[in-house]
Amino acid sequence: MAGNETQKEQEEFFAIDIGTYALKCAFVQYKADGTPELKTLAQFVLPNFELAIPPEEKELLDREQTKERCLKDLRQFLTTKVTELLYDNQIQTKTAVLCASSKDVTIRCLTIDPTPDELQRTQAIQAESHKQMPFSVNNAILGWNLEGSIKQQINEEEIPPGTAHQAKDGETQKSPEKEMTQVMVGALQRDALEEIQKHLSGAGLSCAGILVLPQVLHLSFGRQIDSFSALGKNLALVHMGHSSTSVIIFKNSKVQFYRDINMAGAEITNAVYEGLVENGAPSGEETYNKATFLKHSIGIIPPDDIEQMQGEEKIAAEKIFDSIEKIFQNIQLSISFYIAQNNEHKIDAIILSGGSAVMKNFKTFIEEITETPTHFAEPFNDELAIGNIKYDIGKMQEDAAALASLIGVALYQRSSTIINFIEILNPNKKALKKESQLGASVTVAISNLTSKLFTMSDRKVKIVTMLATILIVLLLLSPTIYILGKEKKINADIKKTSKELRTLRSSESEVSAILDKIKQTEALRGLETSLNALKYNNSEMLMEIASLTPATIFYTSANFNISPQKANVRLSGHSNSSDNVFLLISSLEKSDFFNSAKLESVNEEIIDESRYYIKFSMTAEMDMNAFTNASPQSSSGNLDEFDDFSEEDW
């Protein structure tokens, strides 16, 4: 009985992964006991639609027209392949689910003050998201999931004077901690939703879900993630697709850090393609396909071994290694940033997923460079039954890490803890689904009742028919009655609110004037004391910073925040390497004048295809007792050392 109930609760979705290299599809059904069974799995390599356009036609198209032409060809390809797949495998569902790609969605891990009030928590998350998202969230669909709680150190200026947490003069004390709520936030650009719906409509599918990568990967191989991130261990999950690489840090099965790097498999393929063209190969789709083949067949080869190679293979090997080195620098920079910001010591394990992650020797390269145990994602485990699929089992195990995100999408079931941008955009869909299930139940009940009517007498048939009619009428009228009652209550609330609003507006100007006077008075209180406390020898401070700064660091701004309780400086600037940024942090930590130097942000700014620079921002606390205190008469006092001279000496 329980098994049948489980089966009824499970919905069937067609999982699609529209990448830039391949189109992947999967379909999972649930058995009577609730076990998921993989019924369909397919992967189709996408042609390079831009290179497939004849040169004479491409000359007549501008950039926007070329993009539209490629999207049109992609939709035609998708419609053909998906329609054939649905028909061949007798799949009845018309709803599809997919994972949002990195260019369309931005994910951030935030911390907010804990609050039991849902409205206040929502407002806090939205306010923090506005600060951290690289684009306006007003034109985006915002979703989040509460990851749990975390303890963070409290800054000394936040500690009320006279409390037990405050250290005594001359003593050092570890900053107290407070509990914060961890939140993973995703923002999907609305323009992307329209494109996705166009892609699916050709195959007669409607979009029932757009998910985020961290949760999709946890659905796929969550048991593996949980085992490596348990007991406070740090697990780095590197998902390397064709157009972007995602670095996700898990700790105790919770997402702690997320960053997208706009370099991945396509960067490698394009580099090999350009290298072949530069050495005489004709530009076009044939050479691009050869570059793709060489990338996967050669993989990552050490520079010493590359010297022994010749021809196209040597060109490809050099380009692959150079591209992988750039991608790995960004991966290492992301991990170093997480360790520095969270006072961690190391990453305990790495899991690789994504199509480009299965490239030959990539796992060995990562493991040797990081000296960290590295594993491939394992979505095909004993929790997922494999049905009679038209996919070679050996090839499936070989492609497991590449198929990980697709399997996670296929295993999706509606849940309040999983971010689904479609449900966030259309919150009434759940209610409509429940109503349709209720209607189906009523239909089944009426059908059963009708079958029994044939065994009753005419009198009983009339009575039962009349009762059934009354019941149906009441069910049909219940939404109308409910809406009318709600409308009456809303109208009363509007009248009450309007009356209160008029009362508030009448006294608004008087209250504003009083508040302005209070603010002016409060601002002047203790002004002299505050000014005296802010005196410091700025020349000595700037000389100390200059002496500690490596020659390759260039500052763009320095903001000093000095108060009686605490003083710190925020430095922003440029460098040619992230190593110099970490060298600056080390120098500040060793100084008697500065401590607790921390990175706020490190970004790689691209200049052109071969050059880039590092843009950083950091903070450091200052020991004001180490600097010489400024004196009101310092200008005259500095001449005391010349008192022994007289006019005769001149």
All residues at 6 or more sequence positions from 37 whose CB lies less than 8 Å from its CB, including other chains: 28, 29, 30, 31, 384, 385, 386, 387
Residue 85 confidence (pLDDT): 93
Percent composition of the chain: helix, strand, coil (DSSP 3-state, to 5): 50, 20, 30
Element counts in the chain: helices (H) and strands (E): 22, 18
Greatest distance between any 2 Cα atoms in the chain: 140
Residue 209 confidence (pLDDT): 94
Find the DSSP H helices in 454-507: 458-506
Q: Please tell me the pTM assigned to this model.
A: 0.65
Residue 184 confidence (pLDDT): 94
Question: For residue 168, what is the DSSP state?
Answer: P
Q: Is 61 exposed, middle or buried (0-12, 13-18, 19+ CB in 10 A)?
A: middle
Q: Note the pLDDT tens digit of each residue in 583-598.
A: 888 888 888 888 888 8
All residues at 6 or more sequence positions from 133 whose CB lies less than 8 Å from its CB, including other chains: 106, 108, 140, 187
Whether the Cβ atoms of residue 324 and residue 360 lie closer than 8 Å to each other? no
Q: Note the pLDDT tens digit of each residue in 241-265.
A: 888 899 999 999 999 999 999 889 8
DSSP labels, 300-328: ---HHHHTT--HHHHHHHHHHHHHHHHHH
Whether the Cβ atoms of residue 73 and residue 52 lie closer than 8 Å to each other? yes
Chunk the chain into consecutive blocks of 10 residues (it has 650) and report each block's average pLDDT, rounded to whole numbers: 45 89 92 92 91 88 90 92 92 92 85 90 90 78 89 63 52 68 92 87 89 96 94 94 91 93 90 92 88 90 91 93 92 92 91 91 91 95 91 92 95 92 80 49 52 57 80 78 78 80 72 78 69 67 84 87 80 86 83 82 80 86 70 40 40
Q: Apex CA 236: angle with CA 420 and CA 129, to 5°?
A: 45
Ramachandran bin of 252, using left for φ above 0, alpha for ψ from -120 to 50, beta for the remaining angles:
left
Residue 154 confidence (pLDDT): 66
